Amino acid sequence: MSYELSKLSTRTKLMAGALALVMAGFSHASGTQVGGGATLPSIGYVGSKAATVLQVFGANVAPTSLFGVYSAQSGNPGVSYCLTGSGAGKNILAGATVGGIKFNVQNPCTKNAAGTVTGFGAPAVGRTDLLQPDFAGADSPLNGSDYLNYQNNHDSLDYPVQFPAVAGAVAMAFNLKDNTGTQVTSSEVNLSDAQICLVYSHQITVWNDSRLASAFTLPAGHSIPANPINVQYRSDGSGTTFSLSNHLANVCGTINSHVFETNQAFTSVVANFVSPPPANWTGSSGNESVAAAIGNTANSFGYVETANALATNPGLQFAKVNGTSPTANFGSPLTITGTAFVYNEVINTTNNTNGTAQLEAISAVPGVVNPPTTSCIALVKPALYARAGVPGGLVPTGTYPIVAVSYLLGNNNDNGTDLNFVKGVLTSPYTPAITSKVTTIGPGKGLAFLTLGSGAFTAAQVSGCVVN
């Protein structure tokens, strides 16, 4: 099914959807909702099966996960979540063709030869009627290109809806043995921001570099061998990469006249320091693959989504960062206030001189037609969660400092018979009757809910952004 149907008028799209329902012989008014995208919140959204199954639906959705609780309380038969990664998730929401690859809700939830997932697998749950996804998840907010992709595949008055849903810790994972062949453990490694900056800028390349010595607390007689640091990273467009780079750009400053770029493509993040990446820096598509690469490769170091890595590889070792743990020191709700976010702005994809994320009004993005005027595209200022203790920010002092903000996105128009259920999914993270029963998000899980503080948006506001 071609997504170009989405370029038709709203009325034509709804008529086509209705015709498809008649031909199918049954109604999907309360059918499975189809979405996907970011892997970082996936364990929280659907439960532990997200660590091993690419498309999670039906009995695989944990009853105490966010969408499991939502489905039980709403009476909706279920939610299907395909783990595509943030970049592909936004492309599927847009129904875009990017680099010659067509992204579509009806495409299967499987990886192609390049490791890219181009669809949310709607037919697998009987939703051949869908012309667009019900929702998408992304750990990197919309940028200018994302918005144009959406606009160019929809009517001129259609726009994506975007609100922050949860926060997640990005862990620094490693696989290292000392001179006696003993595995170095999480309790023995405490990295500073400065040390992480030197590793990713390729200034520190071996584990026994004297500048790393203070990070290790080993038993007497044990030491770190002179082995190369094998860096593992995400090769796909990743919101986890965006979040790591947001931290690096804000805490590292200038190193040898260069800066890190805030970007969801790792090779762009480090391009000022190493381009292409060294031979022992290896990219893998998806968090599960990166976690596996670290676990299977000696002397490895890399960034992973804490919740997903805990479920994928429970034996993986996570370093403390600035004395804080991605599990023990993360998971309590983070308060978001009205000063922490903006409406109708996107990430400007033009590189900034200091590498930090720059915001741009949608109305100023070249090529945008009829920019939205409603308060339905909310973006948390990346600098306010780039490190712990920023005044007015999300991350309190003493909290694990490398944090991602994960968004739920939807479509303002053409939600058809799924309308009320789409509203329910998008508002589920702010509904106490739901969140109070969720066990997959919270202390020790690597994921945290957002508490809506003074001046923040409301669940009713989010619901009002979604119409037929």
Residue 40 C-alpha from the chain's centroid:
5
Q: What is the pLDDT of residue 349?
A: 77
Q: At 429, which amino acid appears? A: P
Residue 299 lies in a domain: no
DSSP H helices, 381-438, are 419-427, 432-435
Residue 78 lies in a domain: yes
Average pLDDT over the chain reads 92
Res 428 pLDDT > 50: yes
Supply the pTM of this predicted model: 0.90
DSSP H helices, 162-320, are 193-200, 239-251, 266-269, 287-296, 306-312
Q: What is the pLDDT of residue 77?
A: 87
Residue 145 lies in a domain: yes
pLDDT, tens digit, for every residue of 290-303?
Answer: 999 999 999 999 99
Residue 139 lies in a domain: yes
Identify the CATH number of the domain in which residue 53 sits: 3.40.190.10
Residue 67 lies in a domain: yes
Q: What is the pLDDT of residue 226?
A: 97
Residue 26 C-alpha from the chain's centroid:
35
Of 264, 400, 283, 379, the C-alpha closest to 331 is: 400
pLDDT, tens digit, for every residue of 109-132?
Answer: 999 988 899 999 999 999 999 999
pLDDT, tens digit, for every residue of 23-33?
Answer: 332 233 458 99
Res 71 pLDDT > 60: yes
Residue 343 lies in a domain: no
pLDDT, tens digit, for every residue of 203-227?
Answer: 999 999 999 999 999 999 999 999 9
Residue 287 lies in a domain: no
Q: At 252, which amino acid appears? A: C
For residue 456, give its domain range.
3-169+405-464
Q: What is the pLDDT of residue 115?
A: 86
Residue 247 lies in a domain: no
10-19, 151-160, 339-348: the lowest-pLDDT one: 10-19
Position 20 confidence tier, pLDDT thresholds 50, 70, 90? very low
Q: What is the pLDDT of residue 114?
A: 86
* Number of helices followed by number of strands (H, E) in the chain: 13, 20
pLDDT, tens digit, for every residue of 339-351?
Answer: 999 999 999 977 7
Q: What is the pLDDT of residue 6?
A: 37
pLDDT, tens digit, for every residue of 72-116?
Answer: 999 988 999 999 999 999 999 999 999 899 999 999 999 998 889
Number of domains in the chain: 1
Tokens of 101: 């690859």
